[in-house]
Amino acid sequence: MVSHTDPDYSAAYVIIETDAEDGLKGYGITFTLGKGTEVVVCAVNALAHHVLNKDLRDIVGDFRGFYRQLTSDGQLRWIGPEKGVVHLATAAVLNAVWDLWAKQEGKPLWKLLVDMDPRTLVSCIDFRYLTDVLTEEDACEILQKGQVGKKEREEHMLTRGYPAYTTSCAWLGYSDDTLKQLCKEALRDGWTRFKVKVGADVQDDMRRCRLIRDMIGPEKTLMMDANQRWDVPEAVEWMSKLAEFKPLWIEEPTSPDDILGHAAISKCHNRVIFKQLLQANALQFLQIDSCRLGSVNENLSVLLMAKKFEIPVCPHAGGVGLCELVQHLIIFDYICVSASLENRMCEYVDHLHEHFKYPVRIRQASYMPPMDAGYSTEMKEESVKKHQYPDGEVWKKLLAAQKN
């Protein structure tokens, strides 16, 4: 059974320095759960030669080529390709490049993307392996259509923000009292969309879902997340018992690589989610991730495919910095690609934002567009210093306590 029972929220943190007079730096992260972060760091170092001594203008002038360079390293592809540790490292490096580019342009990342003409945006995307579903011409056509009403949608984001849902109330392991208290506080703060973790014990899941549904009422939206715990038949059986609580979706019901499994679950139950299974009609919602996919470049291609198939995108967030990053992508998606908020929302988890220089701003259960230049990836120096492994103050205390 797969579950994240003892996560130690961590990140590989990349800083790109330049010799430019403006003194700007690019910051990139990829989220991890503790052990294994050192492996991601090794992969980042293995990719570093592709960035060192390069001119930022040359990189962004041929961003598709640079992306291909990182993902097609002749030797590192053997331990990928475009998945696993190497791809997490690729995301960290590219996130830093995008942060630097946005800072140099003096714009938040979402605005950098919104202001780009369609051809320039499309030139950032590697269409290899996609052209049977999405061609360069398809992408340009989608973005061209997205120009209509763009200014009005940007104004809507600036005044109203992008709708969010909360995962903070219903983690596995929370007592009933804690769960009730957190739901009560969330309702008071204006939240109308809630996600609950399931999959440990079906009777306990039913009890907890009933408790939450009673707390939030029938009109609020409820989602479920199984974190890849089930086989396909098990998922179908389990969700048939949870269907009475009217979930909008079930997230990660089985192995993330089992496309036909997701399709089978989907045909048995509406609102079954997972990522890039569009051709198999295996999902009703699609979740992007700012650090698991290959940064902005790859996320752009997924947003465009989702638009072509008219599948709503509801990003995954939480973790270390995921909320900070993915808000830029989904705000861009609304303004330039999807042009719709129907059945769309972005995950929000209320923790670890205090470590970021430009933390997310939530107002009335919505993400308000960041206004600072960059990709919101930069962490506070003091936080980095304290938590850096293994020499940071926090780690020194932990390791000393373990020895004793």
Q: Are the CB atoms for 232 and 214 separated by under 8 Å?
A: no
Give CA–CA dist 107/87, Å, rounded.
26
- H/E element holding 51? none
**Whether the bond into 390 is cis, omega within 30 of 0:** yes
In the chain, the amino acid numbered 320 is V
**Whether the bond into 81 is cis, omega within 30 of 0:** yes
Active site residue 180: no
Phi, psi angles (nearest 5°) of residue 26: -105, 135
In the chain, the amino acid numbered 53 is N
Q: Which residue out of 87, 107, 111, 197 is catalytically annotated? A: 197
- H/E element holding 25? strand 25-32
Q: Are the CB atoms for 149 and 335 separated by under 8 Å?
A: no
- Give me the residue label for tokens 């259509």: 145
The DSSP call for residue 76 is G
CA distances to 28, 32, 94, 107, 178 from 291, rounded to whole Å, are 9, 9, 10, 21, 30
Query: Cα-Cα-Cα-Cα dihedral of 309, 311, 314, 315, to 10°?
Result: -20
In the chain, the amino acid numbered 95 is N
Reference 173, options 315, 7, 34; nearest CA is 7
- Residue 394 corresponds to which tokens in the numbers above? 């926090």
Reference 336, options 60, 160, 161, 140; nearest CA is 140
Go through the chain and tell me how many residues it has: 404
Strands (E), 246-345: 247-251
Q: Is 199 exposed, middle or buried (0-12, 13-18, 19+ CB in 10 A)?
A: buried
- H/E element holding 260? helix 259-268
Give CA–CA dist 189/191, Å, rounded.
6
Q: Which residue out of 107, 262, 307, 316 is catalytically annotated? A: 316
Number of helices (H), then strands (E), in the chain: 16, 9
Active site residue 353: no
Q: Are the CB atoms for 46 and 70 separated by under 8 Å?
A: no
Q: Which residues are catalytic?
A: 197, 316
